[in-house]
Amino acid sequence: MAHVTSTNIARPQPDPGGSARVSGIDKRPAAGIEVSAPGPDYGDGSGVAGDVIGDVAHHGGADKAVYAFARERLDWWEGQLGRTLDDGTFGENLTTSGIDWAGALLDQRFRVGETVLQVSVPRSPCRTFAGWLGEPGWVKRFAASGDCGSYLRVLTPGVIRPGDPITALDEPDHGRTMGQAFAAVMGDWEAARDLWERRLLPPRYRARWDARFGPA
């Protein structure tokens, strides 16, 4: 059964990417997290009570309320990198088991503990993430893996605890996945055009492709 392996909250530290700000990339396991929907914009904060967001120009807000990454993918990366990766190492609030986030459908809803969460937008690996991992060429390696986990919207607030089941509530019929969205934001123009035409990502994502494909 798909379930939550770990719930994680940031331990603030100087930005490992070198910016003059704090960072919440260092997530540590907690007994549970309380989630709710923040405001719509970047800078409106995390959806996780007590969490920390340093880069308010690119993080926070309803579309990036909660970040999930699969324990199975952390295990795979352990083999690739030859090092231990604890739950939360990739900056995720939810470490999960039994969910292929790359195959999850955009806007798909999941019941997680007391909450309902919705697959939202992909992660774009940045220099903070690269600095935190300390691996050469990390941004390109992470992009090439094809799996960025998933940002999630909070539709029903509540508490999530380790061990809580994860249950899919629907299966949108458009068939477009988080893996495709990740490829699109990392430069796959065919995937980008498809998502742009179908208007499956929020306006700030579609707008970046307007110059190439035409007005939305």
Domain ranges across the chain: 3-172
Q: Using DSSP, state whether 49 is helix, strand or coil.
A: coil
pTM of the model: 0.96
Q: Are 71 and 46 in contact (CB under 8 A)?
A: no
Task: Write down the residue that tokens 């260092």 correspond to.
Answer: 26
Task: Write down the residue that tokens 């988080």 correspond to.
Answer: 178
Instruction: Give the span between the Cα atoms of 89 and 6, in whole angstroms.
Output: 11
List per-residue pLDDT tens for the chain, 216 residues long.
Answer: 999 999 999 999 999 999 999 999 999 999 999 999 999 999 999 999 999 999 999 999 999 999 999 999 999 999 999 999 999 999 999 999 999 999 999 999 999 999 999 999 999 999 999 999 999 999 999 999 999 999 999 999 999 999 999 999 999 999 999 999 999 999 999 999 999 999 999 998 999 899 899 865
Instruction: Give the span between the Cα atoms of 18 and 35, in whole angstroms.
Output: 29
CATH class, domain 3-172, is: mainly beta
Q: How far is CA 188 from the centre of its chain?
A: 19
